[in-house]
Amino acid sequence: MSGNPDFDLFKTTDDHEELRGAIRAIAEHQIAPHAASVDHDKRFPDEALSALVASDFHAPHVPEEYGGMGADALATCIVIEEVARVCASSSLIPAVNKLGSMPVILGGDDEIKRKYLTPLAKGDAMFSYGLSEREAGSDTASMKTRAVRDGDDWILNGQKSWITNAGVSEYYTVLAVTDPDGRRGANVSAFVVEKSDEGFTFGEPERKLGIKGSPTRELFFDNVRIPGDRMIGPEGTGLKLALRTLDHTRVTIGAQAVGIAQGALDYAIGYVKERKQFGKAIAEFQAIQFMLADMAMELEAARQMVYVAAAKSERQDSDLGFFGAAAKCFAGDVAMKITTDAVQLLGGAGYVEDHPVERMMRDAKITQIYEGTNQIQRLVMGRMLVK
C-alpha cells in the first residue's frame, strides 16, 4: 500500500519535515520575539518579513522558473502553519503572497507571470488580492467595481474592502466587471494593479480584533488606467479564476488555523505543568488532562484534513473544492475552540497580555471569516454533496 501515490502524498516526506525544522527555527528565534509588540503596537511585522525573505519563505509557492523555491502546496502550508504557531500576523506574509499571485499562476500567460512573479520571488514586492466589496462579500458576483475599455487600456473605478496587507503590497489582483450587460458571473475580469498606478489609493487601516500586525484597508480606484497586458487570462473569466484561486488558498487558511491552535496548545501544556494548586501541578488533574486530550485530538484531525486538501491542491483534483472548504471550515472552528480552551486553562492569566493565548484567541477568530465565512464553506460543501 505504501506504493500508492495517494498515500505517499498523504504522509509528509523527509523533505517536508526538514523544511518544518528550518522554518520553525526561524519562527521561534526571529519572529516570535516580536509577536507581542507587533500585536500591541498594531504594526507590520518587518522583522518577520526580513527573516522570511532572507530564507526564501516569504513566497515559497512561486515556481522555480520564475526564481521561486517551487514549494509544493503541502510545503507552503507547513511554512504558514509554523509561522502562525508564533505569530498569525506574520503568517499572512506567505499566505497572502500566494492568494494575491495565484490568479496569475493559474490564468496568466508567461509574460505576465515573468513580470510579476519574479520580483515576488526575490522579495522585492508583495502581492494582495482584491475581490470583496462593502456590498459584495459572500455574494462576489454582485461587485460594483468597473473596468471600461479605452483603446488597448482599461479604466478602473470602484473600491474593494477588507484587503489584507493593503498599502504594504506592491501588486494587487483586482476583480472588476468588464461587461455590465453580460451574464452574471461571466462578466468579470481580473487585472494586476500596481501600487504606483495614478488614481489608486488606500483607506485608513481597519481597527481589528486580531491579526493587528497585518494591515487591512480599503482600495480605491479613481480612473486608474490599466494597460491591456495586465489583464489576467481572457476577458470575462475573472470570477471563475477568483473562485479557482480560493479553492487552493482556503487550504492555506486551514494551515494558519492549525498553526494558531498548535501554538495555543503548546503554551497551555507548558503552563499547566508549572501551575500548582492544592499542592500539585494542575496538569495532574483528570479534568485538565481531558481538556488537553480533546484539544490535541481535534487539532490533529484538523491538521490531517489540511494536509489531505494540500495534496489535492497540488494534484488539482476535481474534488478540491469540497476538501479545501472542509479543511478551512473545520480547522477554523477547531482553532477558535482550542484557543478559547487555552485561555480557560490559564484562568485569569489567560485573559491578560502577559501570556500569548489571548492574542491567539483573537487571531483565531478571523480564520472562521475570511476567504469565505465558515457558513459559506458549508454551503459550498452542501451544494457539492447534492450536485
Indicate if the alpha-carbon torsion angle 273, 305, 369, 253 is positive or negative. positive
Distance CA 316, CA 69 (A): 19
> Would you report the helix, strand and coil content of the chain in percent, each value rounded to 5?
60, 15, 25
The length of the chain, given as a count of residues? 387
Q: What is the DSSP letter of 183?
A: P
371 is catalytic: yes
Q: What are phi and psi of 213, to 5 degrees?
A: -85, -10
> Are 59 and 101 spatial neighbours (Cβ–Cβ below 8 Å)?
yes
In b/e form, how buried is each residue of 108-139, taking b as 16+ CB within 10 angstroms? Answer: beeebbebbbbbbbbbebbbbbbbbbeebbee
Strand partners, 200: 221
Catalytic residue among 81, 133, 298, 371: 371
**CB within 8 A of 142, min separation 6: which ones?**
135, 136
Active site positions, annotated: 371
